[in-house]
Structure 1
C-alpha cells in the first residue's frame, strides 16, 4: 500500500525535529561533562549543527568517565574487606619518604591509590625487546605457583607464540596462569591463539572496555597496561607489548626502541593489586595470590607504582604528572612517542623551562600514527621562546615512556604525554627514587639523545601551507578525543 506523500513529509519533518532535539540534549550533556572547555565547545557546536553525524560519534568518543569499574571494586572490597585491609597494611609497613624535593608526591600517591612510596625494592632497567622478552620468559620459566600477564597488544606471531608456548609449558606443570588482553588493542589476535591457551588450562579474558551500563559504545577507552607478575615476587612493567615489532621486525619502524623494567619488593604487590582489580572487572572473580612481601634489602630502593585510569575519582594521571613536572628544579627529561599534552601539562612544562630547568623531550622521527605526529608540530611555536628542547629520535621508532626528574627520580611505564593516556586509558607507571637507577636511566637517555637530532623550532614556520593546515586541524580535533 502506497504511503501518502503528506504523511511521508510529516514523518520526515518529525524525524528532523527529533534528531535535532537529541543533538541539543547531547550538546547539553557535553557542556556538563566533557573534560575541557575547548572540547565542550567543539562537541556542542558539532552536535547542534551536524547531529546526524555527531551523535553517534559522541556515543563512541564523547565520554571520559568509565562507568561501573569503581562500583564493582567497592562491591568486592565490601566482601573481602579484611583481606584488602591486611594487604594495604602490609604494604604500608614499608612506607618511606621520597627525596625531600619530591615530598609533595607522597600525599598524591596515597590519595590516588592508597599506596605510598615504599622501601625494600629492586628495579632493573630493561632496554629494548630482546633484553625485555628474555627476562620475562626467564621469569615465567621459574614460576612455581602462578603467573599474572596483562598486555594491551598481543600478536599471533613469533614473539606471541614464544610467550604462548612458555605459558603452556608452565600450565602443564600445574602453575596457575591468568592472562588479560585489551580487545581493541589486540583486535587482530586470532581466536585460535586464545583457544590454544584455554585448551591448556590457562584462564584468558579480554578486559571488556565496553562492558557495563553506559560503556556499550565507548570504544574510546583502552586498557593500556603491560604487567607481568610471577609468584607475587617478581614483576615487570613498561612500554613493550607482545609482538614481533617490539623486536624490530617491522621494516617500516625498525629498529624499535623501547624500555621496560623488572621489580622486586613491595612494588610487586602494588602491580599485582592493579592486575587483580582489572581481572575482577573482566571476570568478576577474586584470585588467591601471594601477598607475602619479599624485601630486597641489598638495593633497598625507594619506589612507587601508580595505576591510573578513566574510572578514577580524580584525574590522577594528569594531576600526578603536572605535580611531578612542577617539582623539577634542575632537569626534566622525557621520552614519549606521542606528544599531545593538555593545557595544564603544557603550562607546567613551560614554567619549568622558564625557571631554568633543563627540559628535554625526545619524540620519534618516524610516525606510527599520523594524526598525533602532525599534532606535535603545533606546539613548536609555543616553545620557541622558552628554551624547551625537542629532539627527534632518528634510529628507528621510539616507543618508550620515560620521565627523569633532577638526580632524584625516574619513571618507566605505559603513560604517553598525551590526552589519551591522561584521561582515557588505564595506565600504570613505576617511579624509582634511587641514585643508581636514576643514573642508569640518565645513561640510557644520553644514548638516545646521541641518536636524535635537535629540532629547529622555527622549522614549522618554513613548512608549506598545506602542512600547517593539516597540523592545525589535528590540533583542533584533540579535545574531541
Structure 2
C-alpha cells in the first residue's frame, strides 16, 4: 500500500508540475505566437491538455527562426569589402518602376536591401521536361562552379541523372556546392550523399534545427529551389528533383509546374540567397563571381525576393499583400495550396470589390488532404466578393504564379498559404516586362482551359460532416 501511495504521490506531483508548465507555455504562446487565432488555440490546448500540447508546442509553436540573422551579420562584418562591392555593382542597374508599381520599390529595398534592376532576361520554363533539360544543359556548360539547392531530392531516375551530371562536372575540376532540406529530403539515402562527397562535391543539409531555440522546431523548412552556374545564369521555381515532377507518380500525373531561367543582376541576388543559406549550414563563405553580366538585349526589369522565418518583418506576406493591392484590372494566381492569412484574404477581397478580375487556380486533386479541405472553407467569402476559383483537372498543379494586370508576373516557390508566408524559407522572382507577362498570360490561359470554374455555392450544399471537417481544417490553418 505504501508503494501504491508513493506512486500516486509521484504522479500527482508530476501532474501539478506539467500543468504549471502548461500555464507557463500558454503565457509564452499568448506573448509570442504570431496570430491571435494561433495564440488562443495554443493557450487553450496548453492549459487543458499540457501532456500532449507542450511537446507539440516545442515542435510547432514558433514562427521565428533563431540565429540566422545574427549569423548573417557576422558574415557581413567579416566580408564587408566583398559585400559592399557586390552591392554597389547591383545598384548600378537600379531602375525606376512604372508609376503603377512604384510602391513596390521601397518595399524591395527595405526587405532585401536590393531594388528592382534592369539588364535581366527571364525565360519561362513550363513543366518538368523543359525545366530539367535547361538545368542539366546549364550544368553541362559550367566553367567554374555550380550552386544547387532543392527542398526535395529523390534517389530515382531523375535524381540519379542530376547526380551523374554533377559528378561529371566535378571530374572536370568544377567546384560544386549542393544544399538540401533535411526534412523535405528525409527519404534521400545516405548513399546518395556519400556518392556526391566521394567525387569531390561539397554537400550539406540546411540544418533546420541548428542554433539556439531551433532544436525541436521541425515546423521550419527551407523550401527554396535554386541553381546558379558561374554567377551568370540561374534558375528558380516550383520543381524539386525527382521523377514525380516529370509526371511519373500515377496518383498525381501529369504534373503541372513552372520554373524560370534568369540572367543579369538577378543572378547575383539568387546567388546571394544561396550563399546565406550555405553559410548558415556550414559557416563557410564561398568564392564566387560577383561581376554582373547584364543581358542588354532583353533588358527586363526584375527583382528577387528571398524570405523566411528569420526576417525581422513578415516580408513574404507584406510584399505579396502590397503587390496584390497594386492590381487594377487583373490578378491571376496559381497555387497548389490556398490557406491565406486574414491580411491576404482581405486584400484579395478588396481587389475584387474594386473591380479587379481575381482568378485563383487550384488543383482538383489533393496531395495534402487537410490543406485541400481547408480551401473549401473560403468558398462562401470568395463568392460574396466575386472572386473566381478554378480547379485544374489535367493532373496535379504545383506551380506558384502571380500575374498583375499587364505589368508584372511572378514565379517562384511561394504558395498562397501560412507556411510559405511565415514558416518556410522561400524565394520568388518578379518580372515587370510586357513580353514576359504575355508569356505567363498565355500559359495561364492554357491552364484555365484545362480547369473547371467552381460554383462556390456548392459548399452550401455539402453534407454537415464535410463542413465540420473543413472547419476543423480551417482551425488548423496557422499550422498548415
SS state at 1:479 partner: helix
CA distance in 2, matches of 1:145, 1:25: 54
CA distance in 2, matches of 1:432, 1:3: 75
Shift of 1:3: 6.1
Q: Please, which moves more after superposition, 366-375 or 381-390?
A: 381-390
Q: Write the mapping of 1:16-415 to structure 2, written as runs, cut at 5 A.
A: 16-415=15-414
What TM-score comes out, normalization by structure 2 length?
0.99
Structure 1 residues 225-264: Cα deviation after superposition (integer angstroms, max 9, x where no partner): 0000000000000000000000010011000000000000
2:418–2:479 CA contact under 8 A, matched in 1: no
2:364–2:396 CA contact under 8 A, matched in 1: yes
Shift of 1:14: 1.1
Shift of 1:383: 1.2
CA distance in 1, matches of 2:302, 2:159: 30
SS state at 1:147 partner: strand
CA distance in 1, matches of 2:68, 2:201: 24
Aligned length: 480
Shift of 1:134: 0.1
Shift of 1:5: 3.1
2:234–2:263 CA contact under 8 A, matched in 1: yes
CA distance in 2, matches of 1:440, 1:99: 20
What TM-score comes out, normalization by structure 1 length?
0.99
CA distance in 2, matches of 1:26, 1:16: 15
Cα RMSD (Å): 0.8
Q: Which runs of 5+ in 2 are unaligned?
A: none
CA distance in 1, matches of 2:422, 2:248: 31
CA distance in 1, matches of 2:272, 2:36: 35
Shift of 1:6: 3.0
Q: Please, which moves more after superposition, 225-234 or 97-106?
A: 97-106
1:380–1:457 CA contact under 8 A, matched in 2: yes
SS state at 1:321 partner: helix
CA distance in 2, matches of 1:238, 1:98: 24
SS state at 2:476 partner: helix
1:266–1:293 CA contact under 8 A, matched in 2: yes
1:43–1:480 CA contact under 8 A, matched in 2: no
Shift of 1:357: 0.2
1:42–1:479 CA contact under 8 A, matched in 2: no
SS state at 1:194 partner: helix
CA distance in 1, matches of 2:411, 2:204: 26
The corresponding residue for 1:430 is 429
SS state at 1:161 partner: helix
Structure 1 residues 99-136: Cα deviation after superposition (integer angstroms, max 9, x where no partner): 21011010001000000000000000000000000000
Displaced runs of 4 or more, over 6 A: none
2:225–2:240 CA contact under 8 A, matched in 1: yes
Q: Which runs of 5+ in 1 are unaligned?
A: none
Shift of 1:98: 2.0
